[in-house]
Amino acid sequence: MAAAKVNKNGELAGKVAIVTGASRGIGAAIAARLAQEGARVVATARTAEDGESRLSGTLAETIARINHAGGEARFVKADLAQREDRELLVETTVASYGPVDILVNNAAVTYFMPVVDFPEKRFKLMMEVQVYAPFHLSQLVLPSMKERHTGWIVNISSGAGIHPKPPYMAAGRGGTVYGMCKAALERFTTGLASEVAVDGVAVNVVSPGLVETPGTLLHNLVNDNTRERVQPIEYISEAVFQLSKCDVKTMTGRIDYAAPFLKELKLEPAPII
């Protein structure tokens, strides 16, 4: 496989993208994939520098990765649970690069525990970051997208959004609230897609398979029993790239899993810078 390179005249040349949760893992890979196709990327997360999180990966590293490869990117440190930070993120992006063409809502704060034990504070935080933040950020970027009659919003979901099926005799992993968030995000996606297709804006969902990231390792989602299902991170970044340039007339309101989606398009994922 050929080494990945930045193509400043790629399919996203001239486009401005925001990628949330981009300090590590899936978000960092998405930011890099969009940048290597010529997009000017603003990456955001709470972890900007080393020592700010117990997990590996920082915004500074994501941006260095892109810029050293010849792409164009900057970061805005933001806590997406805070309205002011969300507004500052969009304002800074527009001031730096111009109107937002692509919004990728990837950020998540996740706790796994049974409903009976779930604290109100953590429930509200998960809903704020995983549901209301994508809603609010979409509100902030949509006026310009509608005015210019172009735009792409990609929301990152999960198989957790699918309803559990009986029999229900086995104890769950405490993922009910996480599943609620992802189901709500998917319903928001299809609803918004139906509202703004006439305005030239595509809104879609990508769900990754099981990807080895600092977060999935922390929650022990990747283990000896699941390791054979682990999917290369390039699948999710490629699927997001494809939905960041799709034709709204033929591809909006979709809820896609990365690998089957790429198979449908007869594509192999590209290597990432």
3-state helix, strand, coil in the chain (%, to 5): 45, 15, 40
CA dihedral 191, 20, 142, 13 (to 10 degrees): -120
Integer distance in angstroms from the first to the last C-alpha of the chain? 13
CA distance 196 to 65: 34
CA distance 236 to 245: 15
Q: Is 256 helix (H, G, I), strand (E, B) or coil?
A: strand
Active-site amino acid positions: 178
Helix ranges (H only) for the chain are: 25-35, 59-68, 83-97, 120-127, 133-148, 176-196, 214-218, 233-243, 258-264
CB contact at 8 A, 58 and 44: no
